């Protein structure tokens, strides 16, 4: 039986309009990325990790401002840390910034995070993990979600023991990426664990990992009973995969469509981060957008060495001049609603 990915579902009182969630990704999930994801069918979008230590002490160089736009909702803002009181304070601040959900990261496998006792490390300290969830849940009025891995080591099933305890502590939804922290992003996501977790808890579970097509999304939803699927790396420079997953529209974008979306993404990122930061931040996106056989490799390399985003735009439009009316239409369709701006460091990685 085919599952309708356009069917809405709920996290407590928060309605999520589709069964597709755009993952939080460090150095990727800026506002421009999230807004684009909503346009292409993501029902819920997530910020990248926000350091609770940076919020609490204000001693981290400010890397930018977290802006919440009207067309991002529902939005989850993800926080990470290892001290319950600091996490509770961070949660209060991101709720004030406009988050619809506060997401807690118990899944990051990167050494820079795990060495502080945060991220996936907390799966090996379930008492502290539960204390953090309880502190956050008691600090805010919005639902609390938790993103986790299967455990630290290959073959671990820690998530099955910890997951129900996190729900008891106050989590309203769980996201499981069933790889170990040791695996990082290698191998395969074992969604038999996702099915087991679904059977153990009475809150929605989001299935994350290896969701790269509509067929895969349908299979994972049907075999696990998960409420939704989460897409991460597959959507980097490829928002069309979201449309394919949600609607079954697998039409490859034309060169003009690719250029139009990339130019809009550049402009929105410059608006958000400023030219200096955006210029460096965007370089990885050029290869992501223009790859997959869409443009020749030398063209991608040419863009990376250009000195400004304005030069990049000029070169892109010269390569696909019929993209201009598409760019104008996309910009005209963007809502001009209010934004809420919160001054805080938004990434431990400096990714914007």
Catalytic positions, written as ranges: 108
Name the phi and psi angles at 322, rounded to 5: -75, 0
Q: Tell me which residue of 24, 21, 25 sits closest to 9, measured CA to CA.
A: 21
CB 166 within 8 A of CB 205: no
> Which are the contacts of 351, defined by CB distance < 8 A and separation ≥ 6?
26, 27, 28, 48, 281
CB 255 within 8 A of CB 293: no
> Which are the contacts of 30, defined by CB distance < 8 A and separation ≥ 6?
48, 269, 272, 273, 281, 352
Task: Give the chain's end-to-end CA distance (angstroms, integer).
Answer: 41
CA–CA separation, 271 and 278 (whole Å): 9
CA–CA separation, 14 and 122 (whole Å): 27
CA–CA separation, 17 and 333 (whole Å): 20
């Amino acid at each position: 039986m085919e599952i309708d990915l356009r069917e809405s579902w709920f996290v407590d009182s928060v309605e999520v309009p589709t069964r597709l969630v755009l993952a939080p990704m460090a150095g990727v999930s800026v506002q421009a990325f999230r807004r684009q994801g909503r346009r292409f069918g993501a029902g819920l979008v997530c910020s990248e990790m926000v350091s609770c230590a940076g919020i609490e002490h204000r001693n981290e160089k400010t890397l930018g401002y977290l802006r919440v736009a009207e067309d991002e909702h529902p939005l989850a803002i993800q926080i990470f840390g290892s001290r319950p009181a600091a996490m509770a304070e961070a949660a209060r601040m991101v709720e004030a910034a406009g988050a619809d959900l506060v997401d807690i990261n118990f899944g990051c496998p990167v050494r820079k995070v795990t060495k502080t006792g945060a991220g996936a490390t907390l799966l090996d300290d379930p008492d502290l993990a539960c204390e953090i969830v309880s502190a956050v849940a008691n600090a805010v009025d919005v639902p609390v979600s938790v993103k986790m891995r299967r455990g630290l080591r290959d073959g671990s099933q820690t998530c099955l023991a910890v997951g129900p305890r996190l729900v008891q502590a106050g989590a309203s939804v769980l996201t499981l990426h069933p790889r170990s922290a040791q695996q990082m992003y290698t191998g395969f996501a074992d969604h038999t664990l996702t099915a087991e977790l679904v059977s153990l808890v009475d809150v929605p579970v989001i299935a994350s990992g290896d969701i790269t097509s509509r067929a895969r999304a349908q299979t994972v939803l049907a075999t696990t009973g998960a409420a939704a699927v989460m897409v991460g790396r597959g959507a980097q420079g490829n928002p069309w995969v979201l449309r394919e997953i949600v609607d079954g529209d697998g039409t490859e974008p034309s060169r003009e469509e690719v250029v139009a979306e990339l130019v809009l993404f550049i402009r929105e990122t410059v608006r958000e981060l400023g030219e200096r930061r955006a210029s460096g931040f965007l370089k990885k996106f050029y290869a992501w957008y223009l790859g997959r056989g869409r443009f020749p490799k030398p063209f991608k390399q040419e863009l990376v060495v250009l000195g400004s985003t304005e030069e990049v735009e000029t070169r892109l439009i010269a390569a696909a001049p019929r993209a201009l009316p598409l760019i104008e239409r996309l910009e005209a369709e963007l809502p001009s609603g209010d934004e809420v701006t919160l001054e805080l460091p938004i990434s431990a990685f400096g990714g914007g």
